[in-house]
Amino acid sequence: MSTKAFASQADLEEKRVSFVRLSDNAYAYTAEGDPNTGVIVGDDAVMVVDTQATPVMAQDVIRHIRQVTDKPIRYVVLSHYHAVRVLGASGYGAEHVIASRDTYDLIVERGEADKASEIGRFPRLFRAVESVPPGMTWPTITFTGFMSIRLGSLEVQLMQLGRGHTKGDTVAWLPEQKILFSGDLVEFDATPYAGDAYFQDWPRTLDAIAALEPRALVPGRGAALTTSEQVAAGLSGTRGFVSDMWASVKAGVAAGKDLNAVYKETYATLAPKYGHWVIFDHCMPFDVTRCYDEATQHADPRIWTAERDRQMWATLES
Ligand SMILES: [Zn+2]
């Protein structure tokens, strides 16, 4: 294997933004595989689901929102704690920032380390990083399991359907319209990042999403899924990647192979099927490392730091 540039440092090409209307109340801000933002417009207020990586990038989301409504942006929901999703939060001036208690706990435990790590991995995704306020983005409201918020007559349900991409994963659901904002639990034509994942739980959480029978779904990355067939494709693609990786890594561990050997084998097994998805080469070393940990001695993901990122990359990609 030739030496690859660390993570996504060589990915410099700007993506084209789409702002797709899913209903009178729901919109998807997507960008060809870059992190998505969901927008929910109620009778009296707007809710933003995931914020973009910086307040300057949030301004572009706001510009799109202002083309469809002048209602105040009152709520920001964090689907999970990753910096690329949360560091734009201050840009919206929302009254409330909502996250699960598990996400709050992860921000306390590893938010600072994650911020430094993510900015180092993917500089393009942190445009105008100097606009990010110092410190962490703190939720002002936390919940456990389920929370219902009414935007006038429109009900939004925030739910933890199980662990997967992280332990704090939260989805936003419009029950009357059957529209789901999944965060990184579901990706479409984009590689799931699984460096902080729970591989054995993730497929069950996807079952819980499927049981809601969404008619539209905004994934964490990739195009908005606007038919039940597309939703099914998003769910099965994500499930296939997670399950195939777990099976490959588990077999390698059972055969007594070390991480390096398991990585090279798993890369070769998954590349023909998933190698065309965006950020495949970025994610694979982190994903296999976490998967190997879960299959051996780490029930919970270990904290990634900027230093640990580099050491891991040097070990697996040299
Ligand atoms: Zn994430």
| Residue 178 CA to ligand 1 centre (angstroms) | 23
Any residues with CB less than 8 A from the CB of 247 and at least 6 apart, and which?
Answer: none
Classify residue 34 by its DSSP letter. E
CA 144 to chain centre: 19
C-alpha of residue 185 to centroid of ligand 1, in Å: 8
pLDDT for 22-35, tens place per residue?
999 999 999 999 99
For residues 59-76, b (16+ Cβ closer than 10 Å) or e, as one string? ebbbeebeeeeebebbbb
- 288 backbone dihedrals φ, ψ, rounded to 5°: -65, -35
Rounded to the nearest angstrom, the distance between the alpha carbon of 7 and the centre of ligand 1 is 15
Measure 256 CA to ligand 1 centroid, in angstroms: 30
What is the separation of C-alpha 92 from the centre of its chain, rounded to a whole number of angstroms? Answer: 19
- C-alpha pair distances (Å), 228 with each of 124, 192, 221, 234, 235: 33, 21, 18, 10, 10
DSSP for 163-218, written as a single string: -SSSTT--EEEETTTTEEEEETTS-SSBPPP-TT--TTTHHHHHHHHHHT--SEEE
The terminus-to-terminus CA distance of the chain in angstroms comes to 8
The more confident residue out of 5 and 43 is 43
Query: For residue 38, what pLDDT band results from cuts at 50, 70 and 90?
Result: very high
CA of 153 to the centre of ligand 1 (A): 31
Q: What is the DSSP letter of 272?
A: H
- In whole angstroms, give the CA distance from residue 170 to residue 167: 9
Instruction: Give the Å distance between the CA of 83 and the centre of ligand 1.
Output: 8
Q: Which residues surround ligand 1, an ion (CB under 5 A)?
A: 82, 184
* Distance from the alpha carbon of residue 23 to the mean position of ligand 1, in angstroms: 26
Q: What is the average pLDDT across 104-127?
A: 94
pLDDT in tens, 271-316: 999 999 999 999 999 999 999 999 999 999 999 999 999 999 999 9
- Flag whether pLDDT at 7 surpasses 90: no
How many H helices and E strands in the chain? 8, 12
What is the pLDDT, as a whole number, of residue 3?
Answer: 66
Strand order in the sheet with 73-77: 18-21, 26-31, 34-41, 46-49, 73-77, 96-100, 141-143
What pLDDT was estimated at residue 1?
A: 45
pLDDT, one tens digit per residue, over 137-182 is 999 999 999 999 999 999 999 999 999 999 999 999 999 999 999 9
54 CA from centroid of ligand 1 (Å):
15
Dump pLDDT digits (tens) for 48-91. 999 999 999 999 999 999 999 999 999 999 999 999 999 999 99
DSSP characters over 68-95: T--S-EEEEE-SS--HHHHTTGGGG--S
Residues 289 and 312: beta-carbon distance below 8 Å: yes
pTM: 0.96
Q: What is the whole-number distance in angstroms between the Cα of residue 87 and the centre of ligand 1?
A: 12
pLDDT at 253: 98
Cα–ligand 1 centroid distance for 193 (angstroms): 7
How far apart, in whole angstroms, are the C-alpha atoms of residue 58 and residue 255?
47
- The alpha carbon of 86 and the centre of ligand 1 are apart by a number of angstroms equal to 10
Average model confidence (pLDDT) across the chain: 96
> How many whole angstroms from 85 Cα to the centroid of ligand 1?
7
What is the rounded distance in angstroms from the CA atom of residue 263 to the CA atom of residue 285?
A: 7
**Could you give the CA distance from residue 101 to residue 144 in angstroms, rounded to a whole number?**
6
Instruction: Show the 3-state SS of 143-161.
Output: ECCEEEEEECCEEEEEECC
- What is the spatial distance between Cα 304 and Cα 265, in angstroms, rounded to a whole number? 23
Distance of CA 81 from the midpoint of ligand 1 (Å): 7
Structure confidence by residue, pLDDT tens digits, 217-235: 999 999 999 999 999 999 9
Q: Residue 268 contacts by C-beta under 8 Å, 6 or more apart in sequence?
A: none
Which of 230, 148, 139 shows the shortest CA–CA distance to 189? Answer: 230
Distance 300 CA to ligand 1 centre (A): 16
% of the chain at pLDDT higher than 90: 93
- The rounded Å distance from CA 269 to ligand 1 centre is 24
Quote the ligand 1 centre to 184 CA distance (angstroms).
5
CB 226 within 8 A of CB 216: yes
Expressed in angstroms and rounded, the spacing between residue 186 Cα and the centre of ligand 1 is: 10
- Cβ of 308: how many Cβ atoms within 10 Å? 14
